[in-house]
Structure 1
Amino acid sequence: MVRAYLLLTITMVLFSGNILVGKAINDLPPVTITFIRCVIAFMILLPLSFYQLKNNHTVLKKEWKPIVGQAMTGIVLFNVFLYSSLQYTTSTNVAIVEATTPVFTVLLAIFILKEQLHRLQYVGVFLSLLGAIWVITEGSWQALLAIQFNRGDLLVLIAVIAWAIYSLLVKQHGHKYPLYASLTVMIAIAIVVLFPFALYEWRDGLISLLEPTLILGLLYLGIFPSVIALLFWNKGVAAIGPSRASIFLNLLPVFTIVGAVVFLGETVTVIQLIGGVLVIGGVYLSTKEHAASSPQQVVGKKALDR
């Protein structure tokens, strides 16, 4: 039990590192970061998933539509918009807004899958969205009325919605194909889709890629959040169950805020702290029972994260 808790805690640290490293290397364009990360992850996952790919190629071919949908939402759109947002806003804001992902997944499930929530879960949805709006508007309702939002906060909000759609696809279709084989195929699809856009970003050259700091950052993104954290997450879920494991997702903004202060020199405001508390509390309330009845969504939630 203690080992599972440790693995899940480390997983959240690694996922928060995705935001921090993405902020640290945001001199690189967002598609380039996503593309190179995918290439690194693909090189690591291919040998791990070789036998799954070999033994399940028929079902993977048959279920190509949901696999493409997951690749586009969970890998391409989520990461491109996430890394784009980090060029305009702080990693703290990104972490807080991103923490609302389970809530948006719940909302989409209500409208698309016609799922029902309990009263307490509706309270959680309201609190979490209130916290996100509080952070995005910097605690100013005038900004809300005037529609004056930080561009980066809106970009990460789009990323959150993309990930929520991905989570629904996982819930509906994830049980049809093995995890590592499907993940490898999704990353391969993302590489193909991203390549022409990456070429466009490279039109003026990418000499900066030779800088050691950027190389280390890209290696981190391709290895730790994409592969190692995934393995730790799956082991933790197997040990204590998806419902209890999902609670650890609330640690993501906590670790990100600490890392942003220590490594990036960001300052945390009272407004951000209030918003973070509202988001974390709201996510806990809105997903407490929902996660218990939807284990596939919780497991899939972090399959390709950050």
Structure 2
Amino acid sequence: MSTELAIQTTGLTKQFGCHLAVNNVDLEIASGEVYGLIGPNGAGKTTLIRMLAGAEAATTGEVYINGDRFSTDENHPVIKRQIGYLPDDFPVYEDLTVEDYLQYFARLYQLKEPRRSRRVLEVLDFVQLGHKRKSLIPSLSRGMKQRLSLARTIIHEPILLLLDEPVSGLDPIARQQFREMIKILQAAGMTILISSHVLSDLAELCSSVGVMELGFLVESTSLQNLYQKLSRNQIFISVLDKLDLLEVELKNCPLVRSWERVSDRSLKVEFTGEDAEAADLLRSMIEASIPISQFHTIQESLESIFLKLGHQQPS
């Protein structure tokens, strides 16, 4: 297997009784990528991540981590040290202080002194919890507990992070803090697989995405390719007045598929042309003496694109 791939699976399948949670998934994630995994509840995302982390045995199929075969029926200490796994419930031990919690996991990963204590202080500083090192975990906010869980996940300096719904339940400020930390880790060379229902976060973070539906990986591609394949070209137009005249002008343009009124002076237009044709459309409006105050293209959201894929099923 190519060592340029941080993750590769072939025919990966997990069956619980009669239920196929993950169905014949072939996944490739390049080293250094931030890969977003999206899909509805029950699509198989968590089960797939657990198999990649070695926490769940596959029914059939194979997993390769940085080119090495990885299975739960064998001991893989070298591979396991390369992986940091943050499950969706981010368990913490509430009878410990923040520092003791990280010391405990550092010992589990067999970090020796003085490196162990130095590493604890490094990750506390990274997740901005240095001032809470002597605090008991129950005193932390949800966002702080999630940052502490991330600190535990990276305490042993893994090169692959598997993050399952890491921003679930966090407020916008806490989500922004978490996004910034993910960006720093990616810039440091980590490969990161992250599942989330907050698609705006994934659109900001990810270079590639995978879409799961009913256990199948129905799409796996770069974010740029996904936008090119499925996004509609939209134009936002505002006028000072003469909105009815604007709509007449749009009816006369064959490249305008449809539009909707955003306000009494604004429209969002679905446009099938390219930039040059959009410029021609703007010119025609100006020549028709329509007082344009705003005219700009809109990037369709990842959420909107996901909804198009939501009911697709593999043939």
Q: TM-score w.r.t. structure 1 length? A: 0.25
Greater RCO, 1 or 2 (C-alpha within 8 Å, sep 6+) = 1
Larger Rg: 2
Q: TM-score w.r.t. structure 2 length? A: 0.24
